[in-house]
Chains A and B, each alone.
Chain A
Amino acid sequence: MFDWLKRGPGRNLRDPLADSTNYLSAYDKEGRLRRAQNVDLKKYRESAAAATNGPRPLSTAEKKAEDAMIAQENADGITDDEKAANALQRAQLRARGSAEEISLPRERSGDLRPYPMNEHFRSQSVLSEELREQIYQQVAVVGLGVDTVASSFGVDMRRVAAVVRLKTIEKQWVGQGKSLAKPYNDAVLAMLPKTEYSPTRVTPHESINDLPVHPRTRNQLFYPTSESRHFTREDAAKAFDPKLLPADKRIPLPVLVKLEKWNLENLPREERQRRLREDDLAERTAQLAKEEKKAAWEARTQRVVPGRRWDFKFQDISAEKVGKDGRGRDAVGYRYGMPHEDRKRGLIKIPTSVE
């Protein structure tokens, strides 16, 4: 055991790497990080420590450039807020530049096994703090719909809703002066793989394969059908439950499928983004048009007359939908003398269309 601790993989855990899960499966028997055979870990540790200790002192060239920028800003006469924002942006850029000198490659799926004996358990990413804040801002401050935010960030709708709820409570607690378990949160987040936020590109958080199991599909079903029939997923869904949507329409994030298809077509990034924007716009306009049409229909055919204790809602319908034989299926009103004739001789019940 002491050998393992001093010379084996255990020596890495005495001084864990920042921004890494540090699972044992990420190291080989000699204690080398598998995914970083070509990276000098010592240098990486030093640079990471420098980054966490705050901004490093500026070199002379950088200092000159910074002074020139400030002079330029003063000449332009912009406000103090803008100046501060610009300075912060430059500092961040510099920090990123220095971090990129030595960086670890991303963890591969083989490195994400926290239990070395369990081959199949892979640690799943969690939302980073920044991404959660962005989601909250988009929903609660900007006022976008949960579905829009879900598809634009590649995060499941239920997860978006949960993030918004929890963030709301967090902000409420901060407002009330309650203490948060921040160190615990930070410690857990530091140990887990994370989905990071990037303003320029979308990293989908969810797996493209995930399909929630509907309770109606849990029971085993033997459904006899003709051999010649083309039995599709739509039919399968109907066999489980008449109201169940087919699997293709229950995909939580259809945008992921779209992105993958475009990826396989080798479309350039600009083209993919353009198509995504176009599809978004088309979807939104279609939704708006649908709502407008419904509102117009209601305004045309509905009247709500206020009463003393309740309202009377009048709906204008067409009485002529009963058809020539008075048996129209979608006619309004309860009908008279309408036995089901499906047991009568000579009435053919074979379906005339198959979906």
Chain B
Amino acid sequence: MVLKLRLSRVSTPGGARRHHPCYNVVLAHARTARDSKPLEVLGTYNPIPELPVGAEPGARKQKEIKIDVSRARYWLGVGAQPSDTVWRLLSMIGLLEPRYLPTGPQTEKALKAVRFPTHKTAESSQNNGSVTKAIRAKQAKSQNVA
């Protein structure tokens, strides 16, 4: 079964409301219902741009995305398929190549022409946990032996 990274519409904290969408970023089997219980909740996405708390009057609105970056990278690494929207969001923090560019669909040429500042992998979003370190150490060791 295909695993998908996709959005799942959930009710707002005060109860479900029209025109007030709220999404969880979830990992689920592709053929399950959109709002059914997922395998894992990776984060949330608020598609309504809002002024940050305590912002100056002229500040720009923000869409707030909370996501476990290392978990998302892991699931992408083992072959989970992101939906278009999730692909767009994850490409903003450099987990994926952008699928669609302002100029059109992604091609080698188009990718070369455009360089997103965020396209580089952010240092913070690199996984530096103990498990990753152990795996890296093991890989280095095996290479040395060979």
Number of A-B residue pairs at CB separation under 8 A: 89
State which size class the interface on A falls in: 20 to 34
Binary per-residue interface labels of chain A (329-350) against chain B in the complex, 1 for a CB within 8 Å, 0 otherwise: 0011111110000000000000
Chain A min CB distance to B49 (Å): 4
Binary per-residue interface labels of chain B (25-66) against chain A in the complex, 1 for a CB within 8 Å, 0 otherwise: 100000000000110111110000100100000001111111
Please name the residue on chain A nearest to B45 by beta carbon: A312
Complex Cα distance A313/B67, Å?
10
When the two chains form their complex, are residues B42 and A319 in contact, meaning their CB atoms are under 8 A apart? Answer: yes
Check: A108 CB closer than 8 A to any chain B CB.
no
Chain A min CB distance to B65 (Å): 5
Chain B min CB distance to A129 (Å): 35
When the two chains form their complex, are residues B118 and A334 in contact, meaning their CB atoms are under 8 A apart? Answer: no
Please name the residue on chain B nearest to A306 by beta carbon: B60
Please name the residue on chain A nearest to B91 by beta carbon: A305
When the two chains form their complex, are residues A312 and B62 in contact, meaning their CB atoms are under 8 A apart? Answer: yes
On whether A303 and B122 interact (CB within 8 A), knowing A313-B62, A314-B93, the answer reads: yes
Check: B86 CB closer than 8 A to any chain A CB.
no
Binary per-residue interface labels of chain B (63-84) against chain A in the complex, 1 for a CB within 8 Å, 0 otherwise: 1111111010000000000000
Residues of chain B contacted by A314 (CB below 8 angstroms): 65-67, 69, 89, 92-93
Residues of chain B contacted by A318 (CB below 8 angstroms): 68
When the two chains form their complex, are residues A319 and B68 in contact, meaning their CB atoms are under 8 A apart? Answer: yes
Please name the residue on chain A nearest to B25 by beta carbon: A333
When the two chains form their complex, are residues B68 and A303 in contact, meaning their CB atoms are under 8 A apart? Answer: no
Residues of chain B contacted by A335 (CB below 8 angstroms): 41
Chain A min CB distance to B5 (Å): 12
Chain A min CB distance to B129 (Å): 11
The one of B43, B61, B71, B122 that contacts A310, using a Cβ cutoff of 8 Å:
B61
Check: B124 CB closer than 8 A to any chain A CB.
yes
Check: A91 CB closer than 8 A to any chain B CB.
no
Complex Cα distance A335/B41, Å?
8
Check: B125 CB closer than 8 A to any chain A CB.
yes
Please name the residue on chain A nearest to B125 by beta carbon: A316
Check: B11 CB closer than 8 A to any chain A CB.
yes
Residues of B at the A interface (CB closer than 8 Å) are 10-11, 13, 22, 24-25, 37-38, 40-44, 49, 52, 60-69, 71, 89, 92-93, 118, 122, 124-125
Residues of A at the B interface (CB closer than 8 Å) are 299-301, 303-305, 307, 309-320, 322, 331-337
